[in-house]
Structure 1
Amino acid sequence: MTAPCPGAFSPDPARSWPSDRAAPASGSGDGFGFGSGDGFGFGSEPDFGYGPEPGVGSASGSGFGFESGFGSGSGVGSEPGSEFGSDRRTGRSAGPVVTELRLSAFAAHRGTVVPLAPLTLLAGPSGSGASSVLRAYEALSRLGAGASLGEVFPDPAGCVPEGAAADRQGRRGFRIGCTADGPAGPVRLELAIQAEPTLRIVGERLTRAGETLLSTALRDPGRPTLQAAWHTADELPVTREQLPDDRLGTALLPLRVAGRTPGQLQVLAAAEQMVVALRPAFVCEPRPHRMRTPVPPGEGRLRRDCGNLAAVLHAACNGYGRRHARLVALAKAGSARPVTGIGVERLADGLVRAVVARGDGGGTPLERLGDGELRYLALAVALLMGPGTGPADVESEVPSALQTLTLLADGLDRDLDGQQTRELLTAAASAAAAGRVRLLGTVTEAGAARARRTAGAAVVDLGP
């Protein structure tokens, strides 16, 4: 086997970090092909070179390809002591949840592991990569929902760590992964993606308690397929098949595995838990200038930019009585002026706009509110009502009662004053404690200080 290139990136799992900072994963190796492994599943080729990383040693992973063997001892340890468990720990979560995100080599991150509590806020100086953590989570969520690599990564080169050197064949890439906790216990997913010269998955591994359940590897660069193998535990202990190199293999397993043997049932349980945990995610990026324009009624699902907030409120008037009351109370708590209600009025041209009632017979249309008020109101709606109802919800084969929505909010406290930030964090902590929603967001230094004083909030410092 060819030795790794000098300076190839190899995160050291034994490196210690302060308890409130993102820390490398524990265990004897991440089993991702570093050190003695064969890298991203390129046969005898080493992993992508990422240049020297001061203070980071080499790991003793056993390789990424499925030929490294099924069963325990593959370099991925179990996580029975996960700090932030799901329903097994709290009894609250509606279904499986993502409890850890790993950015082994992604954008500004090398060997970063982020534990995810029901309410997690990322803090750090500009350039520390907080937004990249949300990008990685969104990418995994969309892949889990069946999206292709091209849809998820329109600019894959931007995901490659800066200064990453290409291997001998001119290939560069990135690596991300996560852990989903639920009835099947902690399940780990590791994903290696080639960004250059062509975008493709080159390796994937799904493990539980140190046992490899699914492993894929690129064996023939000239074909758009991966060699996959999954646990069977029958007369034929391993099933081998070809999978496409532009889709997440874990999401395809329910269509490929019959579920006739105990081993197949284990694979299905782990894959379904991972997919159900990843899929219900909503990215909320309120754009105040888009929220000021009246919109046509009838659209009940909140857009990413919240530009159709008035239409969502219009559709929700008859179906969210108690949540609407909580929304009014939250709007009142975060406003310097009196708030007695939030309604929607239809204009002469048939469009609708939201209006904040003031109690004196008048109201303030949405377009007259400031940027901070608009962002606060949009985030409150997303937090209390979720993305709303729409075709995407109707088409889901997983009942909503078995899903826990994860709200992704980059710049959660942007344009908000101190009172608005406190009220929003308190409401988020309450919703998370009730198991209705989980939140992963980025905050400023001031927002992080307030979050540390909020019961139920966990702050992850991505600073140096």
Structure 2
Amino acid sequence: MTVSCGRTRAEAGVRPDRPSVTELRLSAFAAHRGAEFPLGPVSLFAGPSGSGKSSALRAYEALARLGGGAELAEVFPDPAACVPERARPDAQRRRGFRIGCTADGPEGPVRLDVAVQAEPELRIVGERLTVGGLTLLETALRDPGRRVVQAAWHTAGLTPVTRGPLPDDRLGTALLPLRVAGRTDGQCQVIAAAEQMVVALRSVFACDPLPRSMRTAPPLGAGRLLRGCGNLAEVLLRTRAECGRRHGLLIDAVRAGCAGPVHDVLAETVTGVTGVTGVTSVTGVTGLTGVPGGAGGAVRALLDRGDGLRTPLGRLGDGELRYLALALVLLTGPGVLDVDPAGEVPAALQTLTVLADGFDRDLDVRQRDRLVQLAVRMGERGHIRLVGAVSDASWAAGLGGVTVVDLKP
């Protein structure tokens, strides 16, 4: 593995105000062993098929979901696939995997490492949260017959460590703010470090636009973009009405990445989906969030060519559709994307991380370069970070604000 990166705020000695994940560790996960991947505002995992790009993004997403409080079985429906292929079971026929990350922020670099048993039963068997070499939380499986782990967290009071049981199917770090009293300086440090890690992990949007699903007219729904972007037209209906400035930026991006002239990107309701009849323009409509699916029919999106011609998105090529969807993702935020942000934390203190597997799939050079430039620009503002997987990133090596992780099979 080789890594190249542009100068980041952390490298310049500036402590980030918004917590963000700056390193992903795959100690033993799928094809990875002893791997440590630095992450910047824009990070690209590059390598041929089978080199572990997708599994790295899958591990990141798993940590994010655990940080949001999800149960282990929901996060790892096929845990055996996460175990390194040549890993042998121990005397009790146990096999598992280990993942972790570092989240930088006001508390400094906070490290989280998690050991998961995949066989014979799925459970968290060890977890460690540390800051500057100080262990703030440590858990271990003491009794295999009980569905709990023994936890010990930093107190720094009359009793240096507090002990207690935690469930073995949830991330202990995500539970700490509810379990630690915060009466001593040590307990307050534990809570602050745990909250920094959770905030850094939770706002994640895993995105893989599927052109086939974007060619149909989706029903009106909650107006939040789904993982495959099949409801792209519905979200365009909302964003065009709610934020003219960002919609203008989207139009500029579409002009740069789609063939032919582009005057505007429109969304229209369709009362009869078959044949796309009964079209009604909804320019200027607001308050669409929460509209029940189907209540207002379906929605289709079109490119206004500026000369009376409107091209339905269904006529665009796969690359154009993926480009348009990714540009929209980079220009929006948690309120528009189907993510689980930390609702108790102000949006100004959160950073959305977009995970894009196959980021360059179907894109031409112009589209790819434009999207990376857009991601860098949004990353500089601190609102969005991008972690993508590409087949080759030699073109991005040395670009300011871009971290390239070159994986070898």
TM-score of the superposed pair, with normalisation by structure 1: 0.80
- Root mean square deviation, CA, Å: 1.9
Distance 2:398 2:182 in 1: 48
Distance 2:66 2:80 in 1: 18
2:3 touches 2:406 (CA, 8 Å); kept in 1?
no
Cross-structure match for 2:368: 421
Cross-structure match for 2:290: none
Distance 1:440 1:394 in 2: 18
Distance 1:218 1:263 in 2: 24
Indicate how the Cα distance of structure 1 residues 102 and 84 shifts in structure 2: closer, same or farther if over 3 A, else same: farther
The offset of 1:458, in angstroms, is 1.6
Cross-structure match for 2:407: 462
1:94 touches 1:401 (CA, 8 Å); kept in 2?
no
SS of residue matched to 2:322:
helix
Indicate how the Cα distance of structure 1 residues 342 and 18 shifts in structure 2: closer, same or farther if over 3 A, else same: closer
Cross-structure match for 2:176: 253
Cross-structure match for 1:65: none
Q: How many residues align?
A: 384
Deviations 1:55-105 (A, max 9, x none): xxxxxxxxxxxxxxxxxxxxxxxxxxxx855598457x5510000000000
Distance 1:395 1:432 in 2: 19
Indicate how the Cα distance of structure 1 residues 374 and 390 shifts in structure 2: closer, same or farther if over 3 A, else same: closer
Distance 2:335 2:155 in 1: 40
Matched to 2:351, the amino acid is T
Residue 361 (structure 1) aligned with residue 308 (structure 2) = yes
Deviations 1:359-407 (A, max 9, x none): 1111111111111111000100111113543796688222211100000
Distance 1:430 1:370 in 2: 26
1:87 touches 1:95 (CA, 8 Å); kept in 2?
no
SS of residue matched to 1:435:
coil
SS of residue matched to 1:317:
helix
Cross-structure match for 1:229: 152
Cross-structure match for 1:283: 206
The offset of 1:298, in angstroms, is 3.7
Cross-structure match for 1:378: 325
More strand by share: 2
1:328 touches 1:339 (CA, 8 Å); kept in 2?
yes
SS of residue matched to 2:241:
coil
Cross-structure match for 1:292: 215
Indicate how the Cα distance of structure 1 residues 114 and 125 shifts in structure 2: closer, same or farther if over 3 A, else same: same
Residue 212 (structure 1) aligned with residue 115 (structure 2) = no
Higher relative contact order (CA 8 A, sep 6+): 2
Residue 450 (structure 1) aligned with residue 400 (structure 2) = no
Matched to 2:83, the amino acid is V
- 1:112-151 equivalent positions in 2, closer than 5 A: 112-151=35-74
Indicate how the Cα distance of structure 1 residues 370 and 456 shifts in structure 2: closer, same or farther if over 3 A, else same: same
Distance 2:157 2:12 in 1: 30
Matched to 1:370, the amino acid is G
Cross-structure match for 1:316: 239
Cross-structure match for 1:171: 94
Indicate how the Cα distance of structure 1 residues 347 and 87 shifts in structure 2: closer, same or farther if over 3 A, else same: farther
Residue 158 (structure 1) aligned with residue 81 (structure 2) = yes
Matched to 1:455, the amino acid is G
1:312 touches 1:388 (CA, 8 Å); kept in 2?
no
Matched to 1:413, the amino acid is D
1:98 touches 1:116 (CA, 8 Å); kept in 2?
yes
Indicate how the Cα distance of structure 1 residues 394 and 184 shifts in structure 2: closer, same or farther if over 3 A, else same: closer
1:215 touches 1:229 (CA, 8 Å); kept in 2?
yes
Indicate how the Cα distance of structure 1 residues 137 and 335 shifts in structure 2: closer, same or farther if over 3 A, else same: same
2:67 touches 2:173 (CA, 8 Å); kept in 1?
yes
Deviations 1:30-74 (A, max 9, x none): xxxxxxxxxxxxxxxxxxxxxxxxxxxxxxxxxxxxxxxxxxxxx
Indicate how the Cα distance of structure 1 residues 222 and 155 shifts in structure 2: closer, same or farther if over 3 A, else same: same
Deviations 1:129-174 (A, max 9, x none): 0111100100000000000000000000000001110001000000
1:301 touches 1:389 (CA, 8 Å); kept in 2?
yes
2:303 touches 2:312 (CA, 8 Å); kept in 1?
yes
- 1:423-438 equivalent positions in 2, closer than 5 A: 423-438=370-385
Cross-structure match for 1:50: none
Cross-structure match for 1:406: 353
TM-score of the superposed pair, with normalisation by structure 2: 0.90
SS of residue matched to 1:430:
helix
1:323 touches 1:385 (CA, 8 Å); kept in 2?
yes
Cross-structure match for 2:115: 192
The offset of 1:223, in angstroms, is 0.4
Distance 1:87 1:255 in 2: 34
1:97 touches 1:277 (CA, 8 Å); kept in 2?
yes
Distance 2:2 2:12 in 1: 27
1:305 aligned to which of 228, 232, 237: 228
Indicate how the Cα distance of structure 1 residues 424 and 103 shifts in structure 2: closer, same or farther if over 3 A, else same: same
Matched to 2:48, the amino acid is P
Deviates more, 1:111-120 or 1:353-362: 353-362
The alignment-based identity, stated in percent, is 62
The offset of 1:297, in angstroms, is 2.0
Distance 1:379 1:347 in 2: 24
Indicate how the Cα distance of structure 1 residues 181 and 334 shifts in structure 2: closer, same or farther if over 3 A, else same: same
